[in-house]
Chain A
Amino acid sequence: MERPIRSICIVGGGTAGWLTAAIIAARHASGSGRGLQITLVESETIGIIGVGEGTWPTMRSTLKKVGISETDFFRECNASFKHGAKFARWVTGQASDFYYHPLMLPEGFPGFDLAPYWMTYSDVQRDAPSFSNAVCFQEAVCELGLAPKLITTPEYAGVANYAYHLDAGRFAGFIRDHCVKKLGIRHIVDDVTEVISSDTGDIDSVQTRKSGRLEGDLFIDASGFRSLLLGETMGVPFVDRSDVLFIDRALAMQVPYDDKQSDIVPYTVSTAQKHGWIWDIGLQSRRGVGYVYSSNHTTADAALEELRAYVGDRHRDVQPREIKIACGHRQAFWKGNCVAVGLAGGFLEPLEASALVLIELSADLISTMLPATRETMAIVASRYNRTTQYRWDRIIDFLKLHYILSQRTDSNFWIDNRAPASIPESLKEQMELWRYRAPGDQDFTSNCEMFPAASYQYVLFGMGFRTDTRHQPLDRDIGGARRAFAQNETLKARWTKTLPKNRHLIDKIKELGLQKI
């Protein structure tokens, strides 16, 4: 007899649980009373980790899809705009050393690839602009602290491509309210005391302290690092990836602004340190700052000293929170009738803000692939695992790229990071090819890629990697390249004059709201 999938039980109510609930509910009409039933149980006693404060531009379409107003999001989540990331001191460690990874593709990309032209130009021209500055107008906009849109730009639309910085704790609560009020999700606040398996090895139900047994045809594990369902109950082992990425500790701080009108930096700043790097994320009311480091290379005390030096003396009294990070992921992400999202599936250092986007992508995939019956679930699970594993591998490659291009020699952390044995084969292969031509879409042929080839270009050329362009027929379209470079200068001149300051626009949005159209 067919066993249809009618109900989902989500265990855990951090950003992962609620965002997943919202994405699935919006697609499967859970609010209508006729669609899929979704229950989310979250603990009263276990808090959320909540350090995921940077998003990808995907969050715009995610929020729109689940029916949230961008104005409300800014009003409730302490959110701000993000043009991309600025990486400081990653190459040489000098104070002047920085590059940008903006969220917009280079001018003309991918139809017209400016990289080889910039490469040739900067070979002969000593004062040539940086790659990102030559091909994208966002660096100039970032340096002036400007927002990516105007008050007249509709919700979720942008002048420049943008993502968000947000307060993870407030964000989880905000999505929760939307899920409960608008999307028809049953919310249970209780502790799960036991996970009950059936004879077939599936999860049958979860036992709660006060609310009885909660059943479901599919269980989603959003229980955080503990991985209560997938790890503990289903016994899926953890795959440690610290052989590639060494960071295993975070010291997180909330740093107040000097005054209420302080500028909000419209990009994530990542500043390399002796044994890791410091993130710096500007929200409306405070900055989120944290040092992620390798405990195999330094001590907690030394790390704290570096972090204190970064935030400055006037924040002496701010206490950091220490978080142990296990770099890696589960061997499978979907087993039986259980699939894990968020930290329950794994964790990587937040260098490219991959945590929230992975939740969005996982929830989207679960939502679109959701099997109609239990009988077809195994096929879906195996496809889901293949895609998700591929995504994790690509993120790991991309994060590692930042480390292998560094020239820092001030500690073993940086030197060890360049050891060939620590570099994935897939990345090594790409690096061989990129010696002779710039990364292109032909290097990324899956339909579930994480980073576009353009992102690799920004990091490679931002970090001083040189591609030997002698083998390319460059003179073919010099005119086209000139036009694209000139177009970028035109956009730069226009938008540095027209875009408002980041805080100015956010204040205005909170006061007046953005139009839907």
Chain B
Amino acid sequence: MRLVELSRSEHRELRIRADRVEACAASQHLIPIVVGEFRKAATQYPIVFAKHPETGRFAPYVLSGLGLEENLFWSGTELDVAYVPLNVRRQPFYVGTDHAPHNDDSTAAANVLCIDLDHPCLDSSGTRTIVNADGSDSAYLKEILAILGELATGKKATEQFIAAALSLDLLAPIMLDIVLDDGTPLHVQGLYGLDEETFRQLDAAEIARLWKAGYLDLLYAVMIGSGQIFKLIRLKNQRIALSRAWQGNAS
């Protein structure tokens, strides 16, 4: 990864292949999301919580595979799923923080738009550019800026939601003990989900507080999304059947 600040003049010639963007998630079994995505995400994936390895802090993710570096929605050319998280769609752009001292206020850190110059979707055969011929921002760049804006504002809201859920002990480790069609046992570790038992025991006042904060919808999205685990198991078993058929042909 080689992140540099995006410059509309310096990078005006860059070509981006939008069809390669999703490939970056081909081997991601967890993709981070923000609370604004919960409703859409829940229609496709289980929403889970996992700890950041460096801070131990919880963040929400969609679960897209049942093993490390496995994305069961990856078809080989694209993510075959009706909702692709913002964190995939914003590739190869990132929001960086400019810590360089400024004249007026040296403590203020400004957000700057960055691009990963090593990203495989940067290719001269690409059709997307960041600026139009007249130098104005392209529709593509505007879309990217909107996505990054959503991620930036979603970050704080997501942290607040997690703090609220933790303070009510609403998260609990997910116990998944699955046996796949080929007999392989599968233990999922390090993932957390909604503790439905604790959730059901909340009193009316606590429920009202969650509702007012807009968290009730999010908790139900997590609850409903948890059923998508069956889709993942089905996809995994389909892969096993495919690979069996393949091995059958080979022998």
Chain A residues at the B interface, C-beta cutoff of 8 Å: 150-152, 508, 512-517
Contacts and interface: CB of A to CB of B under 8 A. Distances in A.
B58 interface: yes
B51 A515 contact: yes
Contacts of B192: 517
A64 to B, nearest CB: 15
Contacts of B52: 152
Contacts of B54: 151
Contacts of B172: 517
A515 B173 contact: no
Nearest to B171: A517
Contacts of B55: 151, 508, 512
A512 B171 contact: no
B170 to A, nearest CB: 10
B47 to A, nearest CB: 17
B183 interface: no
A152 B173 contact: no
A78 B56 CA distance: 21
A151 B55 CA distance: 6
B171 A514 contact: no
Contact of A517 (B53, B57, B173): B173
A151 B171 CA distance: 18
A517 B53 CA distance: 14
A512 B57 contact: yes
Nearest to A152: B51
A184 to B, nearest CB: 23
Interface residues of B, number: 15
A517 B170 CA distance: 10
B233 to A, nearest CB: 25
Interface string B6-48: 0000000000000000000000000000000000000000000
B197 to A, nearest CB: 14
Given A152-B51, A517-B192, A512 B56 contact: yes
A269 B52 CA distance: 34
Nearest to B58: A515
B173 A151 contact: no
Given A515-B58, A517-B171, A517-B172, 5 more contacts: A151-B56, A152-B52, A512-B56, A512-B57, A517-B192
Contacts of B173: 517
A182 to B, nearest CB: 17
Contacts of A152: 51-53, 56, 190
A153 to B, nearest CB: 8
A110 B32 CA distance: 43
A151 B57 CA distance: 9
Nearest to A498: B53
A372 to B, nearest CB: 32
Contacts of A517: 171-173, 192
A513 B54 CA distance: 12
17 contacts: A150-B53, A151-B51, A151-B54, A152-B53, A152-B56, A152-B190, A508-B55, A508-B56, A512-B55, A512-B56, A512-B57, A515-B58, A515-B166, A516-B166, A517-B171, A517-B173, A517-B192
Contacts of B56: 150-152, 508, 512-515
Interface in B54-107: 54-58
Contacts of B57: 512
Nearest first, the 5 closest Cβ-Cβ pairs linking A and B are A151-B56, A152-B51, A152-B56, A512-B55, A515-B56
A152 to B, nearest CB: 4
A504 B155 CA distance: 27
Interface in B159-200: 166, 169, 171-173, 190, 192
Contacts of A514: 56
Nearest to A509: B56
Contacts of B58: 515
B51 to A, nearest CB: 4
Contacts of A508: 55-56
A513 B56 CA distance: 8
Contacts of A515: 51, 56, 58, 166
B49 to A, nearest CB: 10
Contacts of B169: 516
Nearest to B55: A512
A351 B190 CA distance: 38
A149 to B, nearest CB: 10
A366 B59 CA distance: 44
A515 B173 CA distance: 12
Contacts of B166: 515-516
A515 B49 CA distance: 13
A513 B167 CA distance: 14
Nearest to B53: A152
A512 B169 CA distance: 18
Nearest to B50: A152
Nearest to A511: B55
B185 to A, nearest CB: 19
Contacts of B51: 151-152, 515
A151 B52 CA distance: 9
A515 B190 CA distance: 13
In this complex, which of A150, A508, A515 has the most chain B Cβ atoms within 10 angstroms of its Cβ? Answer: A515
Interface in B117-168: 166
A432 B166 CA distance: 56
A501 to B, nearest CB: 14
A183 to B, nearest CB: 20
A403 B52 CA distance: 47
A461 to B, nearest CB: 34
In this complex, which of B52, B56, B171, B192 has the most chain A Cβ atoms within 10 angstroms of its Cβ? Answer: B56
A151 B58 CA distance: 12
Contacts of A512: 55-57
Nearest to B172: A517
Nearest to B51: A152
Contacts of B171: 517
Contacts of A516: 166, 169
